[in-house]
Every structure is written in C-alpha cells, then in structure tokens.
C-alpha cells in the first residue's frame, strides 16, 4: 500500500541473545520481521544510539544498579546496563536482519542527558526526532510497527504515532518484551486504549 510504512524498532545485537540488554525471545522474531520487510514497499529502521556514559546507563551513576530508577530533570527514568553504544558491535543491527530495503534509518538516544524510547519524541517528551515530519512529508498515513522491545521502544513509538495522527498497528508476534515490573501488560493496555491495532500474527 502506497500510504503505509513499516517501522522496525531497534533490532540490534545488544537487545538480542548474548547482548548487553538481551530481550527474551528477541532472536526468534528476526525471520518474522524479515517477512514483514519483504511484504512492505516502504521500510524505516530505528537504531538505539547512545554515546558512552549516557545518563540512562546505571554505570553513569554512583552506586546505581541496572533496572532501578533515578530522578532526571524530566522525571523518573529507568537505568539500564550500558547498551547500544555508538559505533560498537552491540549497536549494529542483528546480522540476519534484512536491512537493504530500508529507505530511512532513524537514530535516537544520542543526547547524553535524555533517553529516547520513542522514535518520535525523547523521554523529556519535548525533544523531537523529526520522524513524524519525514513520514508526513512522504504521505504515509498508516504505520505498522515491529521489533524491540514491545513494552518500551515499540510501545512508546506506536503511542506517539497515534498522537501524531497516524493509523497504527503493532504486529505482536514480530516483537519481544523486556517485561520489567509488569511493563508488558501495562503497555499492551495503554496501546489498546490509544486505539492501536494489535495483530497477533505477521
Ligand atoms: C530500549 C531500553 C533502553 C528499547 C532501548 O529499544 O526498547 N529499551 N533502550
Ligand atoms: Zn537505550
């Protein structure tokens, strides 16, 4: 469909088995994501792309452990293990991901003091990545999401896409969740409430 784009979120080594922030079941979605890429004319990829010492890394804080939270200028923020550091193998796309067809690659999380789960707006909820302008300029009205992680970057991106006025579907089978403190159930509910179509299968 000419007005539809597939957005593949953060299918990077650090989120896959053996990576610094491995999401359970991540590797298994790659063939399904590739099948979706094969079926779409317009494909956008996103890449989590943090500088060393990024504020979302627990290691950047004194005595902090990953998977706890800290108070940032913009609010409560989860602290993560160091992951997807710019230019490192962990930040590369999964070796089997079919990236050739991608028309656009959006990098996010590069401001040292601000995390960015969403591909549209950083976690301060104010700094914009420019993706909605790009998609609207290209005439897309319907976005299909897949990738990692369902309950963080996929969910936040999909919800922001709805707020930007797009029709939105998430192909749940082609995602995997971190599920930290009930985040999977919570974000599935939030996505449904936002009017996002949650497809079970690819
Ligand atoms: C992500 C946590 C930290 C994601 C990125 O891609 O879902 N989650 N950075
Ligand atoms: Zn990150």
Of 10, 82, 132, 160, which one is the catalytic site residue? 10
pLDDT digits (tens, 9 = 90+) for 88-117: 999 999 999 999 999 999 999 999 999 999
Q: How far is the CA of 161 from the centre of ligand 2 (A)?
A: 19
Of 16, 84, 108, 160, which one is the catalytic site residue? 108
Task: Report the C-alpha gap between 149 and 90 in whole angstroms.
Answer: 15
Look up the CATH number of the domain holding residue 123.
Answer: 3.40.50.850
Number of domains in the chain: 1
Confirm whether pTM is higher than 0.95. yes
**Residue 153 falls in the annotated catalytic set:** yes
Average pLDDT over residues 57-68: 97
Domain annotation covers residue 138: yes
26 CB within 6 A, ligand 1: no
How much of the chain, in percent, has pLDDT values that exceed 90?
A: 97
Residue-level pLDDT at 199: 85
Domain annotation covers residue 69: no
Q: Which residues surround ligand 2, an ion (CB under 5 A)?
A: 48, 109
| Residues with Cβ within 8 Å of residue 87, at least 6 apart in sequence | none
Task: Report the C-alpha gap between 197 and 191 in whole angstroms.
Answer: 8
Residue-level pLDDT at 201: 66
Average pLDDT over residues 128-138: 98
Domain annotation covers residue 74: no
Domain enclosing residue 97, as ranges: 4-52+82-199
Domain annotation covers residue 68: no
Domain annotation covers residue 73: no
């Amino acid at each position: 469909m000419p007005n539809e784009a597939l957005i593949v979120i953060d299918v990077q080594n650090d989120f896959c088995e053996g990576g610094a922030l491995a999401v359970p079941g991540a590797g298994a979605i790659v063939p399904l994501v590739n099948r979706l890429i094969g079926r779409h004319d317009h494909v956008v990829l996103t890449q989590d792309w943090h500088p060393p010492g990024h504020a979302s890394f627990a290691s950047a804080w004194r005595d902090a452990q990953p998977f706890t939270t800290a108070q940032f200028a913009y609010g409560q923020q989860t602290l993560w293990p160091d992951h997807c550091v710019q230019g490192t193998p962990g930040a590369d796309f999964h070796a089997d991901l079919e990236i050739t067809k991608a028309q656009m690659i959006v990098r996010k999380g590069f401001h040292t003091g601000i995390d960015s789960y969403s591909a549209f707006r950083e976690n301060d909820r104010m700094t914009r990545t420019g993706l909605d302008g790009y998609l609207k300029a290209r005439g897309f009205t319907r976005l299909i999401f897949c990738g990692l992680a369902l309950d963080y970057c996929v969910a936040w991106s999909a919800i922001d896409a709805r707020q930007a006025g797009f029709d939105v579907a998430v192909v749940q089978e082609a995602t995997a969740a971190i599920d930290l403190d009930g985040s999977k159930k919570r974000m599935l509910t939030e996505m449904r409430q936002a009017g996002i179509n949650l497809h079970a299968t690819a």
